[in-house]
Amino acid sequence: MARKKFIRWDHLDRLHIYTLITDHDHPIRDPELILDHLKQARSTWKACKKKCSSICQKFLEERAAFFASKLRCSEEKALCAILKSEESKKVYST
């Protein structure tokens, strides 16, 4: 039996918006242009990855300071407890 293919136009529209490729560049199949766009995307991704780790560390430090004041212990102990609970969540979810 032949399967009908359903095109999800809303999904394609969202991809078109989020890829930041202009309508002029879209039909171009030049490998150099494609590699240039790929390099830009990778550099943006690497910058976001670096920023993400610093934001996560800042959040953990703020949370440790809050728990240290709440539980009347040092920030190091609070941070250690938070990291231990985060690690157990990662192990349990995988």
pTM above 0.75, yes or no: no
Please list, residue by residue across 24-46, b when 16 or more beta carbons sit within 10 angstroms of its beta carbon and e when fewer do. eeeeeeeeeeeeeeeeeeeeeee
Nearest to 16 by CA among 8, 7, 6, 26: 26
Q: Which residue ranges make up each domain of the chain? A: 33-93
Per-residue pLDDT of 41-93, as tens digits, reads 899 999 998 898 888 888 888 888 888 888 888 888 888 888 888 887 777 66
Tell me: the pLDDT tens digits for 73-83? 888 888 888 88
